[in-house]
Amino acid sequence: MKSAGLRSVNTHSKDANQGGQKRKASDVQDVNGPAQKKLKVPSRSRGPPQEKQGVVSGNNVLPAESLARPAGEPPAYSNFRAAICNSLEFFKQHQSGVQSDDKTATGILLNGKTTPRDILQSQLDDSGGGFNTDANGNYIRTKNQSLDCNNCTYLTNAMEKGQPVGVIIGKKAQGKGLYVNTLLSIELEHHFNVLDWFFVTDIWPEPQPTQRDGTSFIHYMMRLQKIDLDSASWWMPQGQERNGMFAVGQFQCRAFTCNSCNLSSKEIFQEGWCCQTMDCPNFFRFSRYGVDNDRLRYNDNFLNERAIRNSAIPIGDLIRDLPKLESGHYGSEAQYKNGIVCPECKCATQRKSWDGWTCDKCGFQLLMIPKNVDMLKIHEETEKTAGKNKKEFHLADNRILQSQHTVPGYEVTSFYLPNDPKNHDEARFIGSVTVFRPDKSVLERQGGLDDLFQEIQEATRVGDVQLQRRPAFCPGSHMEELTSHFACNMGADYKFGVVVKTSNSFETAPPPIMKALSRLTWCGAKAVELTTSHAHESGLSIDSTSMPDDFIDFNEELILGYFQESKISFHDDGEKELGPTVATLSLGSPSVMSFRGKKKTGFGTQDKAGHKMLSFMVKHGDAVIMHGTRIHQYFEHQVVACGIRRFGLTCRYIRPETIEDPVRRQLAIENGKVPLYWQKQAYTGEAA
């Protein structure tokens, strides 16, 4: 989708500096009790994107200085669309302009005029929407709009029910770095701004003014009226707060019945009455001769009439209360990943930090450190997930080969992933995925994996492991999206799609991180040994360049923390810096891991990835080892958490010789060294 918000802009703004200022201790609220630690905010996310503002007048763009100051402040705002969508109950659409619940609109986003006749006043919004883009990416109508389209259906249902609809106003790009809202002539300080609650009073079709290419299409328009007619509207220019405020009954718009279709239509245009029933022969025929459809103007009685909302649907809070940890909750249930509206400055802010929220604008902090989850809860979740995933391993492609290995304390299963069918004369298999499933004693004994889960939870609770959500898409732009999971990197730097910056070396890493590294190093080496010897013994045709016989010790660990409903979507670990083995230890809630062929390979198509070829449940304590660089060329994997608290600790080998910058290269070498103390207590498996 070509969208204004997708434009990438400079992040070093005036706001960014304000956002970075030091906070007083009194600004920190702690929903758990007294504050135990300060929140850590990813430095790049402190400031909203910089933008210039202006107003469009005819064909000219006037500078922001020519705009009036608004009469008040929006009840919530943000420069990031995702922050708005995450923080508000009534609007969660990251792409579309209409939010619905049970096919009824609950919120809309207006980015400016979508039809030439769109109007936004103090108590009224008359607008349309729904353009297509032509081959050059220009917004243009290419067909009549149908009342059956999703958004029309949601808005019609909202009109029939008298549903309160929250309205947000945004800005559109009008040139490089210049953003405007063509509906208002006020200076909008923020990119997305909540207006108020409205309700839909009318929906009608109208032929839109002729486009540049000479075409004109029918489009549905809607009229929304502010619910609270008594309060002044913040978006009016200063000094004009009360302009356009009318009472019910003060104006009345006439309606007439069409003598052809027998249906009533309002007299909405100054040019006179016309029938607004689409399939009526009199549709849009004015009794006056020579009315120019391109120059129609709405009738004042239509604009100024105030309707009564007849509905039992309660008007909710525009802004939700700050979250409180409910009793019986652990703090990583899905709702605690929602954003908040800062109580001090009203900036909508996402939860970026494992331990709470820090306002993007003023730095206000709200702590909510997740409580440790016990094993009983994890067992419950595991049983529930196992009930839904009847097969331990789901192989949906017979080109994958499965083998079983005998290892004391573990059930070990390997899957050999096939070569891309496009590579006709090469090896049959290019990589392996090996799952180590520990038995009860490996999990439960002292110092076992159950204990390790408690240790890692504790490390995140006290701040020894600081997990953060980072930008995953469109970093720095209004459409920036954060990862679903929280991450922290230890050892050598791992730079992938999402940059996880760190100075944590293995020297200073907390014990659970080093214990996980030690176990994964053993699992990684064992998986390589088992799969290569099995392949040789069985005469499997494998690509030994992709899956070398030798295992290289890991020098990096990425810790991912997952709340309920968190996931890591389909991706690969194919960075050129990486060694051939990637090993993940799963602690806590179960999850489902899936592999699918990438698009442009013989498993998918030119523009679509293939189906899921291999899926399996990953339980608490399982280690999954991927061995083979070409796995990441042909396949991608995803992991979906099925519970409230999961950690995925993934170790890799970063090849220092691939790091060009000598300082970073040396740092990677130093940070990735395993201290002697930990080398001496390396995990060596379970006794037979």
- Measured from the CB of residue 612, what is the shortest distance to ligand AKG in angstroms? 15
Taking a C-beta distance cutoff of 8 angstroms, is the pair 224, 55 a contact?
A: no
Closest to ligand AKG by CB, 332 or 586 = 586
- DSSP string of 371-424, one letter each residue: PPPPHHHHHHHHHHHHHH--SSEEE--TTSEEEEEEETTEEEEEEEEEPPTT-T
- We find the least distance from the C-beta atom of residue 546 to ligand AKG, in angstroms, to be 18
Q: Are 416 and 635 in contact (CB under 8 A)?
A: no
Known binding residue 424? Answer is no
Member of 127, 518, 586, 589 binding ligand AKG (CB under 6 A): 586
From the CB of 421, what's the least distance to ligand AKG, in Å?
25
Residue 240 in tokens: 């004009």
Integer Rg of the chain from CA = 30
Under 8 Å CB-to-CB from 245, ≥6 apart: which residues? Answer: 122, 123, 229, 232, 233
Report in angstroms how near the CB of residue 353 gets to ligand AKG at its nearest: 19
DSSP 65: G
Give the residue with the Cβ less far from ligand AKG, 423 or 638.
638
Q: Draw the binding track, 632-661, toward ligand AKG (x: CB under 6 A; -: no contact).
A: -----x-x--------x-x-----------
Nearer to ligand AKG, 105 or 613 (CB): 613
Check residue 625 for interaction with ligand AKG (CB under 6 A): no
Q: Is the CB of 233 or the CB of 584 nearer to ligand AKG? A: 584
User: 435 near 413, Cβ under 8 Å?
Assistant: yes
DSSP 3-state of 455: helix
Name the minimum Å distance from CB 654 to ligand AKG.
13
Identify which of residues 83 and 558 has a Cβ nearer to ligand AKG in the complex.
Answer: 558
Specify whether the CB–CB gap between 392 and 406 falls below 8 A: no
Question: What type of residue is 532?
Answer: T
Place of tokens 């929906």: 203
Of 7 and 620, which CB lies nearer to ligand AKG in the complex structure? Answer: 620
Q: Which is nearer to ligand AKG, 3 or 638 (CB)?
A: 638
- What is the footprint of ligand AKG within residues 89-148 (CB under 6 A)? none
Residues ≥6 apart with Cβ < 8 Å to 80? 48, 49, 191, 192, 348, 350, 360, 478, 480
**In the 3-class helix/strand/coil scheme, how is 553-601 assigned residue by residue?**
CCCEEEEEEECCCCEEEEECCCCCCECCEEEEEEEECCEEEEEEECCCC
Three-state SS at 662:
helix
Restricted to residues 545-574, the positions that interact with ligand AKG (CB under 6 A) are 558, 560, 568, 573
Dump strand ranges (E) for 174-236.
178-180, 192-207, 218-226
Ramachandran angles phi, psi of 106, nearest 5°: -120, -15
Q: What is the closest distance, in whole angstroms, from the C-beta atom of residue 522 to ligand AKG in the complex?
A: 18
The helix (run of H) or strand (run of E) holding residue 489 is: strand 486-491
Task: Consult the annotation and say whether 571 binds a ligand.
Answer: yes
Q: How far is the CB of 571 from ligand AKG (least distance, A)?
A: 6
> Shortest approach of ligand AKG to residue 460 CB, angstroms?
15
Q: Smallest distance, Å, CB 568 to ligand AKG? A: 5
- Position closest to ligand AKG via CB: 648
- Which is nearer to ligand AKG, 245 or 640 (by Cβ)? 640
Select from 562, 560, 559, 558 the least CA-distant residue to 645: 562
In the complex with ligand AKG, which residue's Cβ is closer, 200 or 520?
A: 520
Site string for ligand AKG, 407-426 (x = CB under 6 A): --------------------
In angstroms, how far is CA 285 from the centroid of its own chain? 47
How do 499-500 and 635-641 pair as beta strands?
unpaired
- Residue placing its CB nearer to ligand AKG in the complex, 468 or 584: 584
**Total residues binding ligand AKG (CB under 6 A):** 10
CB of 435 to ligand AKG, least distance (A): 11
Distances (CA, A) of 65 to 55, 69, 169, 346, 664: 10, 9, 20, 24, 45
The distance of closest approach from Cβ of residue 438 to ligand AKG in the complex, given in angstroms and rounded to an integer, is: 16
Give yes or no for residue 584 binding ligand AKG (CB under 6 A): yes
Do 468 and 44 meet the contact criterion of CB atoms below 8 Å apart? no
| Residue found under tokens 């608004």 | 70
Partnered with residue 348 across adjacent β-strands are 341
Is residue 243 within 8 A of residue 233, CB to CB? The reply is no
When asked if residue 483 is in the footprint of ligand AKG (CB under 6 A), the reply is no
* Element of type H or E holding 495: strand 494-495
* Nearer Cβ to ligand AKG (155/639): 639
Annotated binding site: 562, 571
Annotated binding site for 2-oxoglutarate: 562, 571
Q: For binding to ligand AKG (CB under 6 A), which residues are involved?
A: 558, 560, 568, 573, 584, 586, 637, 639, 648, 650
